[in-house]
């Protein structure tokens, strides 16, 4: 590998120029003295590699003398991130999370460091308010800087017409993982990379993981494993609490439970954020008067949970719950299982599919279930269809209208008033490039590899129209993700979990002697709770999900005391 260290680090480039002092603060002598009890001194020697990308459980290093250079490894060259000198410290979010790092650290000049192990770093963050703020802000800004730098040794080679490429883009982006995205159809230099790594054109999408491992059309699990996104942990440990699902409800439960000292594991089949993560802008969540994207909200919540010590595993699916065993057992894929004394079910809901035979064929190649910047990039300046009459459809239509030529909003009902918030209806009315088509539904989809044509009919005369439109956003509601609970947890006729006063005496499991009535968010099994959209009778909103997730922790404590 040719070494081509450039002089400027990431903090010298826009948009971070004014934030260098926050991104790479210098600790005072008094602050370093406070850190002494948490770390050990060690000598460092010029040229010594202190950490490589992908390494887990690296200590944070406070430089006492000498210097350390941090670089992002590229395929052909290194890019300088920063040089830490006396008073500066290493690390970014992955240091706190104990997951695979993103950069290479190498000693530039001999000297001495104070090495602080991950568990001690977490103690400092939980107990020292001043240093907690300083470290957290620096770690978050550094991660954002690494993402924005568009450098690194994780490369996604794919086609902008491919569903698998979209899935991988979503997975990496929503996990806040820096990667270089190259389009095989338009980016220069792609052919050379394909040839160099012996990849045939029909094998894309490909993830070049750390510039060494070639993953051909990998699953999210394979990408997570290769990049060290999850901690390596001991599955024999019995947790206080396992939260299943890292949407707003699950993340809130994790924040409150971990901050109150419980040993918490969160399992997430996709990426943290849930349905909210697919929203371009949430405008009715308290405290964000100008709105916040679902991704940003989820990112903050995830960091907050991890700061308190919750362990979040992405690309892990709860396949089955075994209620009959104590501690409770959750079966995961690959023959593994995890155990806990209490469980919070926060698996929310999955998007409803279009009832057309070939709809799944165009998933990701013209049919989308989210309208964020990732999907919008594919249909910029084109005509698109949004299907649905709820708030998610309204938000998608308004957002896409700012990126696309025309948005056709298709609803089965005679209007929007019964299903959409007033503020969104007004925005739709005021957008010149949104056409509302009421009493209209899609009847067929056509195309080759990509969706090319859509037909719809409009009641009462069922007039049929066909349009050359290749992008359809389905925002038609969701069904609960509870298949993994069947035969164990009491559900209602639509599959939502029943809790508290929705349960009857007949729901009580025969195998146990109940010691008390179920609490309001408790299922028919003591110590198993349900929160957020998955719960029967819940209000399907971010704030409600967050509220239930937070509130259930008090009930978890009660169950753990029983």
Ligand X SMILES: Cc1cc2nc3c(=O)[nH]c(=O)nc-3n(C[C@H](O)[C@H](O)[C@H](O)COP(=O)(O)OP(=O)(O)OC[C@H]3O[C@@H](n4cnc5c(N)ncnc54)[C@H](O)[C@@H]3O)c2cc1C
> Based on CB atoms, which residue is closest to ligand X, 91 or 250?
250
Q: How far is the CB of 266 from ligand X (least distance, A)?
A: 9
Q: How far is the CB of 245 from ligand X (least distance, A)?
A: 3
| The two structure tokens encoding residue 542 | 């971010």
Kindly give the residue spans of alpha helices, DSSP state H, lying in 101-212.
Answer: 118-127, 129-148, 163-174, 190-196
Q: Is 509 left (phi over 0), alpha (psi -120 to 50) or beta?
A: beta
Cα–Cα distance for residue pair 457/383, rounded to 1 Å: 18
Residues across the chain: 562
- What one-character-per-residue DSSP string does 466-522 give? EE----EEE---EEE--GGGTTTS-B-TTSPBP-GGG--GGGS-TTS--SSPPPTTB
Q: Output the CA torsion 415→418→423→429 (10° steps).
A: 10
Q: How far is the CB of 394 from ligand X (least distance, A)?
A: 9
Q: How far is the CB of 301 from ligand X (least distance, A)?
A: 10
Q: Cβ(251)–Cβ(302) under 8 Å?
A: yes
> Based on CB atoms, which residue is closest to ligand X, 156 or 312?
312
Q: Cβ(297)–Cβ(542) under 8 Å?
A: yes
> Based on CB atoms, which residue is closest to ligand X, 72 or 293?
293
Cα–Cα distance for residue pair 328/201, rounded to 1 Å: 47
Q: How far is the CB of 424 from ligand X (least distance, A)?
A: 9
Burial pattern 290-315, b for ≥16 Cβ within 10 A else e, equals eebbbbebbbebbbbbbbbbbbbbbb
CA atoms within 13 A on the CB side of 31: 20
Q: Which parts of this chain interact with ligand X (CB under 6 A)?
A: 244-250, 267-270, 274-276, 278-279, 282, 284, 317-318, 346-349, 391-392, 395, 481, 484, 532-534, 540-543, 545
> Based on CB atoms, which residue is closest to ligand X, 138 or 393?
393
> Based on CB atoms, which residue is closest to ligand X, 141 or 475?
475
> Based on CB atoms, which residue is closest to ligand X, 9 or 247?
247
Q: How far is the CB of 434 from ligand X (least distance, A)?
A: 16
Q: Cβ(35)–Cβ(116) under 8 Å?
A: yes
> Based on CB atoms, which residue is closest to ligand X, 274 or 389?
274
Q: How far is the CB of 221 from ligand X (least distance, A)?
A: 12
Q: How far is the CB of 461 from ligand X (least distance, A)?
A: 32
The CA radius of gyration of the chain, in Å to the nearest whole number, is 25
> Based on CB atoms, which residue is closest to ligand X, 62 or 370?
370
Q: Is 348 helix (H, G, I), strand (E, B) or coil?
A: coil
> Based on CB atoms, which residue is closest to ligand X, 204 or 545?
545
Element (H or E) spanning 224, and its range?
helix 220-227
| The two structure tokens encoding residue 329 | 């057992």
Q: How far is the CB of 313 from ligand X (least distance, A)?
A: 9
Q: How far is the CB of 358 from ligand X (least distance, A)?
A: 23
> Based on CB atoms, which residue is closest to ligand X, 136 or 543?
543
Burial pattern 40-69, b for ≥16 Cβ within 10 A else e, equals eeeebeeeeebbebbbbbbbbbbbeebbbb
């Amino acid at each position: 590998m040719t070494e081509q260290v450039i002089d400027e680090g990431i903090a010298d480039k826009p948009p971070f120029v004014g934030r260098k002092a926050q991104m790479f603060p210098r600790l005072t002598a008094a602050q370093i003295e406070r850190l002494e009890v948490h770390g050990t001194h060690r000598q460092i020697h010029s040229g010594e590699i202190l950490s490589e990308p992908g390494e887990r459980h690296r200590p944070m290093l406070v430089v006492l003398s000498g210097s350390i250079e941090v670089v992002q490894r590229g395929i052909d060259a290194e890019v300088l991130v920063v040089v830490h000198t006396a008073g500066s410290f290493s690390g970014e979010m992955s240091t706190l999370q104990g997951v695979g790092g993103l950069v290479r650290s190498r000693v530039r000049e001999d000297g001495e460091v104070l090495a602080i192990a991950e568990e001690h770093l977490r103690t400092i963050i939980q107990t020292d308010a001043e240093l907690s703020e300083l470290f957290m802000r620096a770690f978050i800004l550094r991660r954002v800087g690494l993402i924005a730098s568009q450098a690194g040794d994780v490369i996604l080679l794919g086609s902008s017409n491919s569903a698998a490429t979209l899935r991988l883009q979503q997975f990496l982006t929503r996990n806040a993982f820096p990667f270089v995205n190259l389009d095989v159809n338009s980016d220069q230099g792609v052919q050379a990379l394909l040839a160099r790594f012996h990849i045939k054109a029909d094998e894309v999408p490909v993830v070049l993981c750390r510039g060494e491992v070639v993953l051909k059309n990998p699953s999210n699990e394979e990408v997570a494993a290769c990049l060290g996104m999850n901690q390596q942990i001991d599955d024999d440990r019995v947790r206080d609490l396992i939260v299943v699902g890292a949407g707003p409800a699950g993340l809130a439960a994790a924040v409150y439970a971990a901050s109150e000292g419980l040993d918490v594991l969160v399992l997430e089949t996709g990426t943290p954020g849930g349905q909210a993560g697919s929203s371009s802008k949430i405008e009715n969540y308290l405290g964000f008067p100008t709105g916040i994207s679902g991704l940003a909200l989820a990112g903050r919540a995830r960091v907050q949970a991890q700061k308190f010590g919750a362990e979040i595993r992405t690309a892990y699916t709860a396949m089955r719950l075994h209620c009959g065993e104590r501690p409770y057992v959750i079966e995961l894929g690959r023959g593994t299982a995890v155990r806990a004394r209490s469980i919070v079910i926060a698996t929310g809901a999955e998007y409803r599919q279009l009832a057309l035979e070939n709809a799944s064929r165009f998933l990701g190649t013209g049919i989308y279930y989210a309208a964020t910047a990732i999907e919008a990039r594919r249909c910029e300046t084109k005509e698109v269809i949004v299907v649905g009459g709820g708030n998610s459809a309204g938000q998608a239509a308004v957002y896409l209208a700012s990126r696309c030529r025309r948005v056709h909003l298709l609803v089965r009902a005679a209007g929007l008033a019964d299903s959409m918030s007033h503020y969104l209806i007004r925005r739709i009315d005021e957008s010149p490039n949104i056409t509302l088509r009421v009493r209209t539904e899609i009847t067929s989809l056509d195309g080759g590899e990509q969706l090319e044509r859509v037909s719809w009919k409009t009641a009462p005369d069922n007039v049929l129209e066909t349009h050359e439109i290749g992008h359809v956003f389905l925002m038609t509601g969701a069904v609960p993700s509870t298949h993994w609970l069947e035969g164990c947890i009491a559900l209602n006729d639509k599959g939502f979990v029943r809790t508290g006063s929705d349960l009857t005496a007949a729901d009580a499991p025969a195998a146990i002697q109940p010691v008390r009535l179920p609490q309001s968010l408790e299922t028919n099994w003591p110590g198993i709770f349900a929160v957020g959209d998955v719960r029967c009778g819940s209000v399907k909103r971010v704030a409600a999900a967050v509220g239930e997730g937070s509130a259930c922790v008090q009930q978890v404590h009660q169950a753990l005391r029983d």
